[in-house]
Amino acid sequence: MTAPPFAAPPFTLAGLDHVVLLVDDMPRALAFYGGVLGCQPGYSYPALGMEQLWCGAALIVLWDITHPGAAGAVPPAGGGRNVDHICIATGPFDPQALRAHLAAHGVAIEREARHGGARGVGHSVYLRDPFGNLLELKGPADHPDGPAAPPAAPPPTPPAGPRD
């Protein structure tokens, strides 16, 4: 059975804008996202207990649920887990250097795999932030998304020598 076609929305998608993470220890969150992952300072809303960090062209919004001004950040009781993981595209990507960097910060790698995404199939490293959120740090694509097969080897180069 084929899914019905979707009507074109009245807008275009430009990319991921921001992700909001509810945290309960802002200094620890800033140390992880800024110090370990290298996100750059963005906007700050101290009255709300909110800090925003640049992650490439997108923002990671850290909202401290223990802050008195963060009443709007507290999730409703009985809610479900709505986020599986957040994938952050990285580059340049050196898995060995990444492993060493995370180990130096006491961050455990849960698993490594080749997975697809918006930019294609490439190496992914999975870890958790201090609040239990699963993060995927994704290297550049070496294969278009779709079947997760490695790219085909290039055809052999003919030996150099005289031509007919």
**CATH at 124:** 3.10.180.10
Confidence of residue 157 (pLDDT cuts 50, 70, 90): very low
The model's pTM: 0.67
Q: What is the pLDDT of residue 51?
A: 95
Instruction: Kindly state the tokens that stand for 13.
Output: 């998608």
Q: 35 and 66: one domain?
A: yes
Which of 18, 56, 21 has the alpha carbon at shortest distance from 137? 56
Structural domain includes residue 160:
no
> Does residue 65 sit in the same domain as residue 93?
no
Q: Is residue 21, in this structure, part of any structural domain at all? A: yes
How many independent structural domains does the chain possess? 2
For the sheet containing 40-45, what is the strand order? Answer: 18-23, 58-64, 50-55, 40-45
Residue 26 has pLDDT above 90, yes or no: yes
Task: Establish if 118 belongs to a structural domain.
Answer: yes
95 plus 141 within the same structural domain? yes
Same domain, 66 and 94: no
